[in-house]
């Protein structure tokens, strides 16, 4: 197939056809997506062009100073206009890219405030000449349709150095996480006798009193969802009337950004919003949901683009979305990582679920496996949240590892300085670790923090449902608590917490309940037989520093 040889192939071919920007991107079609047929040449697609930014190194240095509590500029965050000044592509980049687009008849483009993304509508025919190698097909899953190219795209030699990547060709929505369906038999028996996790249990375990609710006028928090799931306002209202007694709360979302689908609500969508709003209670809450209108759009990327075009957005975002690092191109991950830095410069906290497959497993050859890190959980510029269970299902006390809790070491991002000593002490102190061929000790290690992730009650499609589990539960719980801390900071005239990790690691575990018992899952093979990393005193790659003791953590973060 000539298209494939173009992709992986000869240097001389690339001179003629251009240069691939994402040669390492997995372009295979996930099995649940069915090929419908070739896209009509006259059909419209919308593609996202990520223009090369300026001052990325400077941004990195600035972010580490703004998030370091010992720095003189701690908390002196930028607004979006200042971020734009710093990173916007230089004139040459803008000119080269726009004249390349115009030359191909692409004129219907929209930019963002930071000018580093262009979203352009064009016909399939134009897209395929603009991006040699690409061939668009339509795919379906249940009642959804997508346009994607299974074949690598390239761009003209002259523009390749001005673009990071083009979005809308390869990445499929990540697999639906099996929220609430991932218990083992043993756990199901235990669950039958457990009353389950409700807002009252969360608030009791993490020491939230009835008066620990938001009251600052300008505080806000958000969940972002990209799994073609949506929530019903009536479910949230019913959830709050069942479980919201004893603390002041809101029972409605203040703003939905994007298009909500119709039909059945998803478990995941109900979970996020119900728990961020009962932990971060009485705080204005936004929901970001599939913002794309075109079948070529990537919902996660759309959301990132949107953040660069909104001057005022909530201070805390919780997101339960992830892909295997090895399925994504390096160019894409590096650029999304820059986007997280941009958010951090604005004082925004980004919290990602660490994933529900423990250390994960990648089959390299018949006999060889390794762990499988997940992105964005592995980004050094987000706060990643793992999961725990109650040790005794009858008591609201001691937490141990929830074996699904995602964790491990990135193969893409270097270990950031803020965590080096914590991670190295873990590696040194553990008597037994998984074989070193399974993970990369020089990578960013995650998660950073954790919360309960097991046996939640939610309301979905008007029905109360027990036993919902996953780090998509722990993430909004931690997010809600950070929003409460922001609230107290605002009342004292302080800046929001912003990117938390540098400060979190300096606490060395104070303000948190250390989780020291249990291991998470990984490959089922002779070498590791299902076990990944194990928890240990202080930081570990299963539960991070542990779970929040709210009043203690608040006291440590109020200056
Ligand atoms: C960004 O916002 C401006 C102003 O609201 C709008 O005109 C533009 O189309 C937006 N850009 C994108 C990519 O949506
Ligand atoms: C918080 O909870 C723990 C365990 O439930 C308890 O020992 C402690 O006294 C509580 N209060 C504070 C302020 O830590
Ligand atoms: C709830 O928030 C509002 C402001 O949004 C505030 O006026 C009110 O006092 C808060 N309620 C409590 C119990 O703090
Ligand atoms: C917060 O307050 C500022 C200043 O009053 C205002 O410009 C901004 O829109 C508010 N942000 C949110 C997210 O409510
Ligand atoms: C290990 O991680 C580093 C980045 O921290 C990366 O440069 C290196 O390629 C990774 N090794 C493997 C085998 O993936």
pLDDT, residue 292, reads 63
Residues 6+ apart with CB under 8 A from 453: 386, 387, 388, 389, 402, 404, 405, 469, 470, 471, 473, 474
Does the beta carbon of 309 lie inside 6 Å of ligand 1?
Answer: yes
* Ligand 2: residue whose CA is nearest its atom 4: 397
CB 288 within 8 A of CB 303: yes
Strand partners, 255: 286
Does the beta carbon of 215 lie inside 6 Å of ligand 3?
Answer: yes
For residues 346 and 443, give the distance between their C-alpha atoms in angstroms, rounded to a whole number: 26
Strand partners, 402: none
* Ligand 1: residue whose CA is nearest its atom 9: 110
* Ligand 2: residue whose CA is nearest its atom 6: 207
Half-sphere exposure of 199 (CA within 13 A, CB side): 32
pLDDT, residue 296, reads 84
Atom of ligand 5 nearest to the CA of 415: 5
* Domain regions of the chain by residue span: 18-53+88-167, 185-557
Does the beta carbon of 282 lie inside 6 Å of ligand 3?
Answer: yes
Please give all residues whose beta carbon lies within 6 A of any atom in ligand 4, as ranges.
218, 220, 312, 314
Residues 6+ apart with CB under 8 A from 140: 33, 34, 36, 146
Helices and strands counted in the chain (H then E) = 17, 27
* Ligand 3: residue whose CA is nearest its atom 1: 215
pLDDT, residue 174, reads 78
Could you tell me the end-to-end alpha-carbon distance of the chain, in angstroms, rounded to an integer?
62
Please give all residues whose beta carbon lies within 6 A of any atom in ligand 2, as ranges.
207, 549, 551-552
**Is the preceding peptide bond at 49 cis, omega within 30 degrees of 0?**
no
Q: What is the pLDDT of residues 221-277, one digit of tens each?
A: 999 987 666 788 999 999 999 999 999 999 999 999 887 666 667 777 889 999 999
Residues 6+ apart with CB under 8 A from 5: 13
Q: Is 462 exposed, middle or buried (0-12, 13-18, 19+ CB in 10 A)?
A: exposed
Regions in the chain scoring below 50 on pLDDT:
1-16, 179-191
Tokens of 110: 């929209």
Beta strand spans in 63-218 (E):
108-111, 117-123, 136-141, 144-149, 163-167
Q: What is the pLDDT of residues 273-306, one digit of tens each?
A: 999 999 999 999 999 987 666 788 888 999 999 9
- Fold classification of 185-557 is Rossmann fold (3.40.50)
CB 480 within 8 A of CB 415: no
Catalytic positions are 268, 272, 472
Nearest ligand, CA 111: 1
Beta strand spans in 228-332 (E):
255-257, 284-289, 316-319, 323-324
For residues 483 and 477, give the distance between their C-alpha atoms in angstroms, rounded to a whole number: 10
For residues 548 and 386, give the distance between their C-alpha atoms in angstroms, rounded to a whole number: 12
Q: What's the CA-to-centroid distance between 109 and ligand 1, angstroms?
A: 10
* Ligand 2: residue whose CA is nearest its atom 11: 207
Does the beta carbon of 209 lie inside 6 Å of ligand 3?
Answer: no
Q: What's the CA-to-centroid distance between 250 and ligand 3, angstroms?
A: 10
CA neighbor of 164 nearest in space, from 60, 87, 89, 52: 52
Q: Can you tell me whether residue 353 is helix, strand or coil?
A: strand
Per the listing, tokens 């390096």 go with 330
Q: What's the CA-to-centroid distance between 483 and ligand 3, angstroms?
A: 14
For residues 360 and 403, give the distance between their C-alpha atoms in angstroms, rounded to a whole number: 11
Nearest ligand, CA 258: 1
Strand partners, 284: 220
Does the beta carbon of 110 lie inside 6 Å of ligand 1?
Answer: yes
- DSSP label at 4? H
Residues 6+ apart with CB under 8 A from 186: none
Q: What's the CA-to-centroid distance between 313 and ligand 4, angstroms?
A: 8
pLDDT, residue 194, reads 55
Residue 180 phi/psi, 5-degree rounding, is 80, 5
pLDDT, residue 367, reads 87
Strand partners, 466: none
For residues 55 and 44, give the distance between their C-alpha atoms in angstroms, rounded to a whole number: 34
């Amino acid at each position: 197939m000539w298209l494939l040889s173009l992709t992986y192939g000869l240097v001389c071919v690339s001179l003629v056809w251009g240069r691939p920007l994402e040669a390492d991107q997995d372009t295979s079609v996930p099995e649940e997506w069915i090929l419908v047929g070739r896209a009509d040449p006259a059909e419209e697609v919308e593609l996202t062009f990520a223009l090369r930014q300026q001052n990325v190194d400077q941004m990195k240095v600035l972010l580490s100073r703004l998030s370091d509590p010992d720095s003189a500029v701690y908390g002196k965050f930028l607004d979006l206009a200042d971020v734009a000044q710093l990173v916007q592509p230089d004139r040459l980049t803008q000119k080269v890219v726009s004249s390349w687009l115009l030359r191909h008849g692409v004129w219907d483009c929209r930019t963002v405030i930071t000018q580093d993304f262009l979203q352009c509508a064009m016909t399939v025919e134009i897209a395929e000449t603009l991006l040699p190698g690409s061939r668009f097909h339509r795919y379906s899953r249940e009642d959804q349709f997508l346009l994607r190219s299974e074949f690598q795209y390239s761009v003209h030699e002259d523009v390749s150095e001005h673009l990071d990547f083009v979005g809308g060709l390869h990445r499929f929505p990540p697999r639906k996480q099996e929220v609430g369906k991932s218990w083992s038999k043993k756990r199901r028996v235990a669950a039958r006798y457990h009353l389950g996790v409700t807002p009252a249990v969360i608030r009791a375990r993490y020491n939230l009193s009835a008066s620990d609710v938001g009251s600052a006028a300008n505080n806000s928090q958000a969940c972002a969802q990209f799994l073609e799931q949506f929530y019903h306002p009536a479910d949230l209202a019913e959830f709050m009337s069942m479980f919201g007694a004893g603390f002041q709360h809101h029972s409605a979302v203040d703003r939905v950004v994007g298009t909500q689908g119709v039909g059945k609500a998803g478990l995941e969508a109900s979970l996020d919003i119900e728990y961020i709003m009962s932990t971060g209670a009485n705080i204005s809450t936004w929901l970001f949901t599939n913002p794309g209108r075109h079948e070529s759009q990537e919902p996660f990327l759309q959301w990132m683009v949107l953040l660069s075009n909104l001057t005022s957005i909530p201070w805390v975002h919780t997101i339960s979305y992830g892909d295997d690092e090895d399925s994504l191109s390096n160019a894409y991950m590096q650029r999304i990582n820059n986007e997280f830095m941009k958010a951090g410069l604005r004082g925004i906290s980004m919290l990602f679920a660490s994933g529900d497959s423990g250390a994960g497993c990648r089959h390299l050859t018949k006999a060889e496996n390794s762990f499988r890190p997940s992105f964005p959980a592995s980004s050094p510029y987000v706060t990643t949240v793992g999961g725990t269970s109650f040790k005794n299902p009858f008591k609201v006390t001691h937490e141990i590892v929830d074996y699904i809790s995602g964790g491990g070491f990135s193969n893409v991002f270097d270990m950031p300085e803020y965590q080096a000593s914590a991670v190295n002490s873990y590696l040194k102190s553990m008597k037994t670790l998984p074989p070193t061929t399974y993970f990369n000790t020089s990578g960013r290690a995650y998660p950073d923090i954790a919360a309960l992730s097991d046996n939640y009650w939610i309301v979905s499609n008007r029905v109360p449902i027990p036993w919902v589990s996953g780090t998509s539960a722990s993430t909004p719980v931690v997010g809600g608590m950070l929003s409460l801390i922001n609230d107290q900071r605002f009342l004292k005239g302080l800046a929001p917490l912003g990117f938390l990790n540098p400060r979190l690691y300096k606490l060395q575990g104070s303000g948190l309940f250390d989780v020291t018992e249990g291991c998470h899952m990984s490959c089922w093979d002779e070498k590791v037989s299902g076990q990944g990393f194990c928890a240990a005193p202080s930081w570990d790659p299963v539960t991070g520093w542990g779970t929040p003791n709210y009043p203690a953590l608040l006291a440590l973060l109020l200056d």
